[in-house]
Structure 1
């Protein structure tokens, strides 16, 4: 087995863990426990996905240069959301939601695009649309989630800027 093949296998396994833990974290009750554990594993597996994607893209630059930039961009969302929670500065929850769900859109997009032909036939849409569909659907859902937590309107933005709801 070549180094590239080993990286690919590790990338796929980490990606599957990322997808599963992201889904668990999205649907888990937002408190310490399942949500935070799944979120930590999600972030750790996202690091593995990004590192392997960067390595594979460098190894086969002429074929996979696009993967380098996608890995940087999508992991930036995950890191942004992860650090927002860890640092808990003003409006941290809004930043956490944007970053984590934005990165989750990246994971879903990757899964759909990699399995493009089968997925596009199954749901009856052109395969190129799979690059955009998760963002088209996910972006309004992020906005709705932010609004549901009372973080969308400027009057309400300050209400949950820290874990106890008080301003820093």
Structure 2
């Protein structure tokens, strides 16, 4: 088996797994149980798919440079989204949904580019997926969209400085 085939086989398997797993992860309720487990599978699948994509692009940079850019974006957004889910800083959930959604859009874009020679393959996933990600963020509880603090609560410094009356 040559190097190209040795990289292509795990790339295709991981890419297919990511394309199938993404909607499953998105559909599960955003809790640590099944969603978290599925996410802990999605991220390593993404790592395999993107590292093999980068290696394949290194073998044929003239033809595959665009896919290397998508692979880097996929890996960056998936790892950043996973890091947010682990650390859970204020406002993490909306950012997590956006980042993981973006990583999946990269999966779809790369898949379309390998199957369809139209320039639309570069933009269609983003045109369709971005409003869907925005809708998913909008459906989060209001506190999750705002960073965890209710809007009506005054800032701690403003509350301390307010005159009693």
The TM-score range, normalised by the shorter chain, is 0.7 to 0.9
TM-score (norm 1): 0.81
Cα distance in 2 for residues equivalent to 1:90 and 1:152: 10
TM-score (norm 2): 0.83
User: Do the aligned partners of 1:143 and 1:152 also contact (CA within 8 Å) in 2?
Assistant: no
User: Do the aligned partners of 1:17 and 1:45 also contact (CA within 8 Å) in 2?
Assistant: yes
In structure 2, relative to structure 1, the CA distance for the partners of 1:130 and 1:34 (3 Å cut) is: same
Q: Paired residues, what number?
A: 150
Q: 2:69: which partner in 1?
A: 69
In structure 2, relative to structure 1, the CA distance for the partners of 1:160 and 1:47 (3 Å cut) is: farther
Q: Deviations over 1:94-136 (max 9, x none)?
A: 111011001011111122221216xxxxxxxxx2212211100
User: Do the aligned partners of 2:57 and 2:68 also contact (CA within 8 Å) in 1?
Assistant: yes
Q: 1:38: which partner in 2?
A: 38
Cα distance in 1 for residues equivalent to 2:149 and 2:21: 25
Structure 2 residue 119 is the aligned partner of structure 1 residue 104: no
Cα distance in 2 for residues equivalent to 1:34 and 1:22: 13
Q: 2:148: which partner in 1?
A: 159
Q: CA deviation at 1:143?
A: 1.1
Q: Deviations over 1:66-115 (max 9, x none)?
A: 22222112211111111110111111101110110010111111222212
- Cα RMSD of the aligned pairs, angstroms, is 2.1
**Aligned with 2:50: secondary structure?**
helix
Structure 1 residue runs without a partner (length 5+): 118-126, 162-168
